[in-house]
Amino acid sequence: MVEKLAGDYSKYFQNCNVEKEINPLCLSIEETLTRLDEFETLLTSVKIETNSTMENNVVPLLAFKENFQNLCERIDKLENFIDVVNENVNSVEKSIEIAEEELGVTDYSLKGLLFKPLFSRAKNIDGEIRSNLKDDEFQKVALFNTSDYFPPTDETMALETYE
């Protein structure tokens, strides 16, 4: 039985081509190493590109931080100014509406403006007469002053001096 087993193993080793079995594994390992080298090259390229990006973009962005804070403050001031202007426009519109009610202006054509009676008074929804007059004197709407929001520059100073 031992002889038969030894014969079977002998046939197996004679029929088995180790080179044929190992060659596909060696090729697979070679391809994997090649891909690994390509991946390493790609990573190196990405690292170089990242460093370049950091130097070319991030450093100037960090340098702009102080200017950015200044820009944010200016935007906030501009938003506040817009709010003030909006309030002023709303006040003037209200004053104009009251004046139109006092004059009874509903038709904005030239004919409607010329032939409407000047002394007719319209009542608002509550039945109350609205008026811009206080003690028979017109009350102006308080308006903002642009110099409060925009300090004079050299150019505006030159214009004021010239006038």
Residues 94 and 146 occupy one common structural domain: yes
More confident residue, 73 or 135: 73
Which of 23-32, 91-100, 131-140 is predicted least confidently? 131-140
Structure confidence at residue 39 as a pLDDT band (50, 70, 90): very high
The answer to whether residues 98 and 131 touch, using CB atoms and an 8 Å cutoff, is yes
Percentage of the chain exceeding pLDDT 70:
77
Residues 59 and 76 occupy one common structural domain: no
Residue 18 has pLDDT above 60, yes or no: yes
The answer to whether residues 156 and 91 touch, using CB atoms and an 8 Å cutoff, is no
3-class DSSP state of 147: helix
pLDDT tens digits for range 65-103 = 888 888 999 899 899 999 999 999 998 888 888 877 777
Residues 81 and 141 occupy one common structural domain: yes
Residues 9 and 88 occupy one common structural domain: no
More confident residue, 83 or 63: 83
Residues 84 and 151 occupy one common structural domain: yes
Residues 101 and 29 occupy one common structural domain: no
**Which of 39, 63, 87 delimits the end of a domain?**
63
**What is the count of structural domains for the chain?**
2
Domain of 137, in residue numbers:
72-163
pTM for the predicted model, two decimal places: 0.48
Residues 49 and 81 occupy one common structural domain: no
What number is the average pLDDT over the span 36-51?
94
Q: Which residues contact 142 (CB under 8 A, 6 or more apart)?
A: 91
Residue bearing tokens 């004679």 = 14
